[in-house]
Amino acid sequence: MLRIEHLSKTYRTGDTALSDVSLEVPKGQILGLIGPSGAGKSTLIRCINRLVEPSAGAVWLGDVNLVTLGKAELRRQRRRIGMIFQEYALVERLTVMENVLSGRLGYVSFWRSFTRRFPPQDIQRAFALLDRVGLLDHADKRADALSGGQRQRVGIARALAQDPELLLVDEPTASLDPKTSRQIMRLLTEICAERGLPAIVNIHDVPLAQQFMQRIVGLRAGRIVFDGPPEALTHEVLTRIYGEEDWNAMKRGDEEQARAEAEARERMEALAQ
């Protein structure tokens, strides 16, 4: 589905963010990208839809090489790639509905989008997506009136409105509390499973990655230093990715989060009764 070949990125400042990264993501796979700050996670996913221009290498989405595309064709191909952001990146002063419909911008003419007259099936789809993420009642609210978790769900609906073949997810839970984080991750993984969508998820929270990801790729200083199932993330591997750390302290944090998770589960069960 997605094949990244020998991708490199050197910024104009001379900083090398990625060097020779090759990666393949099959259909339906949810891949977690972990690594310390500055390892190149954000750069990597932004090189895929070319919000950041790669310096060398190829990115194949199906049988299209995204790196060599011209401007107009790049816009057409971007429609196939949905993106979800760390700080939600909703347009705060627009309504929830406009934010979701903005996922259709690549499909409609300027005048249609300017006058907010989207095709009926787009509007129907937008309502269906808002229903799916549980925000049907909030369609007419302004995006800045929502809570963090709700905003991220609008972000998910916007990405899905594109009818994408691939999701790029940049630190989806970094601005959320632990419980909301888990709800968002669960929603994301469910939606990917429903649609057979592959996703690349940048995530700095290792326990969360282990819990929700099918595959983990560890990035350090712009190179892939680990690629395997979450179970294979041992102390030794984490040290290779993040360098020496007090992993026991982190483990205590894990237990704390496991308790939060258990509590959340109990509550959900209580609600179900």
Partner 1 sequence: MSPIAYPTSWRRPPQIIRDRRWRIAVQLGILVYLALAVSTVEVNWARVYEGLDRGWNFVLGFLRPDFTSRWTDIAKGLTESLTMTLTSTVVGVAISLPIGIGAARNLAPRPVYYLCRGIIAVSRALQEVIVAIFLVAMFGFGPFAGFLTLSFATIGFLSKLLAEDIEDIDAGQVEAIRATGASWAQVVNYAVQPQVMPRLIGLSLYRLDINFRESAVIGIVGAGGIGATLNTAIDRYEYDSAGAILLIIIAIVMVAEYGSSHLRKYLQ
Q: What secondary structure letter does DSSP report for 255?
A: H
Measure the CA–CA gap between 138 and 154, rounded to whole angstroms.
Answer: 10
What is the smallest separation between the CB atom of 261 and partner 1, expressed in angstroms? 29
Cβ proximity to partner 1: between 79 and 223 the closer is 79
Cβ proximity to partner 1: between 34 and 168 the closer is 168
Our finding on whether 81 is near partner 1 (CB under 8 A) is yes
- The one among 1, 38, 79, 264 contacting partner 1 by CB under 8 A: 79
Contact segment (CB under 8 A) with partner 1 among 119-127, 155-163, 196-204, 208-216 equals: 155-163
- The one among 29, 43, 49, 180 contacting partner 1 by CB under 8 A: 49
Our finding on whether 47 is near partner 1 (CB under 8 A) is no
Place of tokens 């509550």: 267
Burial class (CB in 10 A: 0-12, 13-18, 19+), 5: middle
Neighbour tally for 53: CB within 10 Å: 9
What is the smallest separation between the CB atom of 114 and partner 1, expressed in angstroms? 6
Residues 179, 182, 185: CA angle, nearest 5 degrees = 150
Our finding on whether 158 is near partner 1 (CB under 8 A) is yes
- The one among 14, 53, 110, 243 contacting partner 1 by CB under 8 A: 110
Measure the CA–CA gap between 84 and 99, rounded to whole angstroms.
Answer: 12
Cβ proximity to partner 1: between 88 and 226 the closer is 88
- Can you count the helices (H) and strands (E) in the chain? 10, 10
Measure the CA–CA gap between 140 and 96, rounded to whole angstroms.
Answer: 6
Residues forming contacts to partner 1 in the complex (CB under 8 A) are 49, 51, 75-79, 81, 83, 85, 87, 89-94, 98, 102-107, 110, 113-114, 155, 158, 162, 168
